[in-house]
């Protein structure tokens, strides 16, 4: 039996939660425009679901051709939103952890999404997912379960990406995984088992709210200028490695001639140079490690345990990427950096200072630079 009052109440709560996130701009993630856009899409999807879902329940079983058409369109739209939320969730997880999606990941996500949409189009002519019967009553059909299976796959795939990143050595203290999965799983199970209960979109709203809040909390680990991680995150990585008795592969980078950029071209241009260097490092490292702005014009790269290239390789990759940037850039100055690194075994001595160890290697490279350049150009 349908309880319209409870349906309206639960969806109003979902609308209010999304309105708060939307109006407070809680969806905006620092230096993560693509993730912010995905969150915005998810918020508007939830808002649409919380509006349309009560309407299809209200018109269910009422007579008239208009009602019949509306029920087909409305229910199809709700299934379509499932094909939006799932891929959006996977995309934001993968991009947040790995900076980009692989072709294989995109193929999997887009294929499932297109399959869901194609099934809806077929349902218009041959009901497979749902049916509006002669009394204008909504009826689930056998292929309804496909959407449950696909959404469950997206949720579990998100968990897989999370734990895969953890195995590579990532510190993901605030990252939303269970916070997103549990409300949706509860809403999906209850609404599937008890027709007439409308919980799925309010629960999705709670999950989206969890994502927004978790990613905002993670800002304490981010450098405000470059979007790279900061020293708080470095401390988390080092402390975790010491507790587990692990080795860390790390590089330190110090920009050459940075003071000259500030003095000759303004501090704003100096900021642009720092942002450009962080972007270069992120493009080189991608999902094989993390980039940290340590202090001023110094950066640290911590490679994941599963990184396939050596420190020497990454030193060369970074140098080549800086050169490519300079060739393409129209800036009146050239970026340059001293780079050094090593594998530090934190299991041998808990008092070992990772920074001091890799700093030695970086300054050896810096001395080579000074042999060819004026030492005052720092």
Q: In CATH, what number is assigned to the domain containing residue 359?
A: 3.30.70.270
- Of 169, 198, 221, which residue sits at a domain end? 221
Give the model's pLDDT for residue 96. 74
**Cα 328 → chain centroid:** 29
Domain shared by 90 and 217, yes or no: yes
- Of 165, 197, 221, which residue sits at a domain end? 221
pLDDT in tens, 78-125: 999 988 988 888 888 777 776 667 788 888 888 999 999 999 999 999
pLDDT in tens, 321-347: 999 999 998 899 999 999 999 888 877
pLDDT in tens, 169-197: 666 656 656 667 778 778 777 777 766 66
Domain shared by 237 and 364, yes or no: yes
C-beta separation of 253 from 241 below 8 A = no
Q: Which domain holds residue 293?
A: 231-372
Domain shared by 314 and 183, yes or no: no
- Of 201, 221, 241, which residue sits at a domain end? 221
Q: How far, in Å, CA of 40 to CA of 35, rounded?
A: 9
**E strand intervals along the chain:** 130-132, 138-140, 247-255, 289-295, 298-303, 337-345
Whether 378 maps to a domain, the answer reads no
Q: How far, in Å, CA of 326 to CA of 322, rounded?
A: 6
Give the model's pLDDT for residue 52. 95
Q: Taking 90 as the threshold, does the pLDDT of residue 366 lie above it?
A: no
Q: How many domains does the chain have?
A: 2
């Amino acid at each position: 039996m349908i309880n319209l009052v409870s349906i309206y109440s639960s969806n109003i709560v979902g609308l209010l939660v999304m309105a708060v996130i939307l109006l407070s701009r809680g969806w905006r993630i620092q230096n993560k425009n693509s993730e912010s856009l995905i969150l915005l899409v998810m918020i508007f999807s939830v808002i649409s679901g919380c509006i349309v879902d009560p309407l299809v329940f209200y018109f269910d079983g009422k007579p008239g051709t208009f009602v019949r058409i509306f029920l087909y369109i409305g229910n199809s739209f709700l299934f379509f939103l499932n094909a939006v939320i799932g891929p959006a969730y996977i995309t934001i997880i993968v991009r947040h952890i790995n900076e980009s999606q692989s072709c294989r990941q995109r193929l999997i996500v887009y294929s499932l999404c297109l399959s869901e949409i194609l099934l809806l189009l077929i349902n218009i002519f041959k009901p497979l997912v749902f049916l509006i019967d002669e009394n204008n009553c909504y009826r689930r059909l056998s292929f309804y379960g496909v959407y449950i299976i696909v959404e469950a796959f997206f949720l579990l795939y998100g968990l897989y990406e999370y734990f895969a990143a953890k195995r590579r050595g990532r510190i993901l203290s605030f990252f939303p995984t269970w916070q997103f999965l549990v409300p949706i799983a509860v809403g999906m199970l209850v609404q599937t088992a008890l027709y007439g209960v409308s919980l799925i979109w309010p629960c999705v709203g709670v999950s989206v709210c969890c994502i927004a809040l978790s990613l905002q909390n993670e800002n304490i680990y981010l450098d405000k200028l470059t979007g790279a991680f900061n020293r708080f995150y470095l401390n988390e990585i080092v402390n975790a490695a010491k507790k587990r008795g692990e080795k860390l592969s790390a590089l330190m980078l110090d920009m050459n001639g940075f003071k000259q950029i500030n003095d000759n071209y303004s501090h704003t241009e100096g900021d642009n140079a720092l942002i450009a260097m962080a972007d270069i490092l992120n493009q080189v490292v991608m999902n094989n490690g993390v980039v940290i702005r340590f202090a001023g014009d110094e950066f640290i790269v911590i490679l994941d345990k599963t990184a396939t290239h050596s420190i020497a390789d990454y030193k060369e990759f970074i140098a080549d990427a800086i050169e490519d940037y300079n060739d393409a850039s129209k800036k009146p100055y050239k970026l340059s950096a001293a780079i050094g690194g090593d594998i530090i075994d934190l299991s041998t001595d808990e008092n070992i200072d990772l920074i001091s160890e890799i700093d030695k290697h970086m300054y050896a490279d810096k001395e080579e630079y000074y042999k060819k350049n004026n030492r005052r150009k720092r």
